Structure 1
Amino acid sequence: MDTSSSKPGQPSLSTRDLSIRFGGHVAVNAVSADFYPGTLTVIVGPNGAGKTTYFNLVSGQLQATSGRVFLRGRDITGFGPARRTRLGIGRAFQLTNLFPHLTVLENVRLAVQSRVGIGLSMLSLWSGHRDVIARAEHYLERVAMAGKRNAWVGTLSHGDQRKLEVAILLALEPEIMMFDEPTAGMSVDEVPVVLDLIHQVKAERRRTVLLVEHKMDVVRALADRIVVLHNGTLVADGEPATVMQSQIVQEAYLGTPEPA
């Protein structure tokens, strides 16, 4: 099933027959999908289905064996992750990707500087640096991390590192936001902060949001659309209520119910 053809306008992100092979193993198999502004798509599937690998192909951490990736109609297949980030694809990783020997504030400040194009030159205006710090603090407040602004990142709990990654992603202000299991490893108390932020981003209806998630309550709460991968192949794509009830999802992802 595929609802993408009913969406108006040009997709912000597309993949066409996107594939990658590791030796004889096809990890992602000819996946074609369009993603549109204002839509939050959750990508689900059993362990080993190819979800994170597909994310890595989109964000540039992996180069495809075949197929193409398009951003606003532009072929970016050959671009690396740094160039894709500059063009508007932001990614929060399943495993944190931070600077452990810098403070929390410094990590976010670097993201803000990258976004606004301010370097570390002594010729930069101090007022500009004050603005950068103020913006960095704003994003830390959004993830409830302002109280730890001066803490070394290497000393943070796993949950706090995940929240910091979300702050960095927000600071980059990307057109495409990609979250790979954003609540993985978080305590029950920490999860609502990140989920509320994703709700806020979704409510703005400006960005294209892609989310890999295992927790079905999170999927139901956030998804405008669900894409299902199984053995690297796209097997379902559509509105949550329809996809969740499909036989292939019941069998491949949720598991077949045991007889009474």
Structure 2
Amino acid sequence: MSISLETRALTVNFGGHIAVDRVSCTFSPGTLTAIVGPNGAGKTTYFNLISGQLPITSGQVLLHGQDISNTNAATRAQHGLGRAFQLTNLFPRLTVMENVRLAIQARVQSRDKRGLQLLSTWFSHADWISEADQILTRIALIRRRDMRAAELPHGDQRKLEVGLLLAMQPSVFMFDEPTAGMSHDEAPVILDLIADIQQQRDKTILLVEHKMDVVERLADRIIVLNQGQLVADGKPAEVMQSTVVQEAYLGVAAESGEVAA
């Protein structure tokens, strides 16, 4: 199986505290890997190291075999690494349509320099507008295309952020608690989108999630972090049935069916 993303002994040290400790892992196209663990386990920090939001103390991140360890987040995005954040990361004063259109434009400009020669006004690019409308339809925001992003309720802002990620067409999708703060009725839209990406079988998906029903529904594989170290890696059934993982690392709440974030 080919490897699209790899971390080799990935480590970050904050003033003597090792938040991620020599984590080596490979990720392949067609696989959704859920990253779970207790509070402070290093899940989001691991995400930040991969996507370039944090500098690496030691180790490597490789994307399609290329070492991207010393590149910034924007460069990694241009190479196909897409990240949706736990907190929304939008242009609040722009409309829903403008947010998606700008993401499409950024993709075109970064991958096809001919796009720079076509920029008279964005209104002339009917293809960008058409693609944006298709994405807004997929994320159930087409009726709010002309609203400012700041005016959207939180759940719709999360949908829009996933729309921006779709517009960038990455080869690796990274979702950090994509349904956090969403209502029970809103969450299925995001989960269905992730499932749709998963079914394409040519994309690599990483998912940080504490809701075990989401993990069980989507994950092909689970890796568990604890105190910054990789402590379990395998098929969901194998990992979840491990007594050590359940009690010591996942912090399973029998009544809620959730693990600690």
TM-score (norm 1): 0.92
TM-score (norm 2): 0.92
1:6-55: CA deviations, max 9, x gaps? Answer: xx23x100000001011121110100000000100000001111100000
Give yes or no for the alignment of 1:215 onto 2:211.
yes
Superposition pairs of residues 124-163 of structure 1, within 5 angstroms:
127=124, 129-163=125-159
Q: Percent identity?
A: 59
Give the RMSD, CA atoms, in angstroms.
1.7
SS at match of 1:43: strand
Within the candidate set 235, 242, 245, 2:238 is matched to 242
Distance 1:61 1:120 in 2: 31
Q: Per the alignment, do residues 33 and 122 of structure 1 end up closer, same or farther by CA in structure 2, a change over 3 Å counting?
A: closer
SS at match of 2:230: strand
Compute the displacement of 1:126 (Å). Answer: 5.6
- What's 2:83 paired with? 91
- What's 2:258 paired with? none
Distance 1:101 1:125 in 2: 18
Distance 1:92 1:111 in 2: 13
- What's 2:251 paired with? 254
Within the candidate set 153, 160, 182, 2:178 is matched to 182
Give yes or no for the alignment of 1:30 onto 2:22.
yes
Length, aligned pairs only: 249
Unaligned runs of 5+ in 2: 110-114, 256-261
Q: Per the alignment, do residues 108 and 27 of structure 1 end up closer, same or farther by CA in structure 2, a change over 3 Å counting?
A: same
Distance 1:238 1:77 in 2: 26
Compute the displacement of 1:100 (Å). Answer: 0.4
Unaligned runs of 5+ in 1: 1-7
